[in-house]
Amino acid sequence: MIVLEIDSVKEFMQHMFQGSMFDRFHLRSCEVTTFATFHIDGRCFDDWFDSDEKRTDETGLVTWNMMKTFVFSWIKGNK
């Protein structure tokens, strides 16, 4: 587990959602609260993929790169 103290939230969020700094990190779980709360279990459901598609590695977890587009769309949303 990695614990970070964020000095500049804006800069951190840019790296997290627009950059590739965190793309290889495994996502065990995630919770996003906007108009509703979304819970993500980071375990990959391999049966969802076609047989020729790349699945997760031996951890069985998705990477941040696989999830960041979804999470970003929930956060940015419209009121």
Decide: 68 and 17 in contact? Cβ < 8 Å.
yes
Number of domains composing the chain? 1
The confidence band for 55, taking pLDDT boundaries of 50, 70 and 90, is: low
Q: In the prediction, which pLDDT does 4 show? A: 81
Domain for residue 11, yes or no? no
Tell whether 1 is covered by a domain: no
Q: Is residue 10 part of a domain?
A: no
Spatial contact of 72 and 17, defined as CB atoms under 8 Å apart: yes
User: What range does the domain containing 42 cover?
Assistant: 25-76
In the numeric block, the tokens 């979304």 are attached to: 38
Instruction: Tell me if 3 is assigned to some domain.
Output: no
Token representation of residue 19: 């950059």
Question: Which residues lie closer than 8 Å to 15 by C-beta, 6 or more apart?
Answer: 21, 22
Mean pLDDT of 36-43: 92
| Residue whose C-alpha is closest to residue 66's, from 74, 56, 58 | 56
- CA angle at residue 20 from 79 to 40, to 5 degrees? 50
pTM: 0.77
The token pair that represents 47 in the structure block: 């049966």
Predicted confidence at residue 79, as pLDDT, reads 65
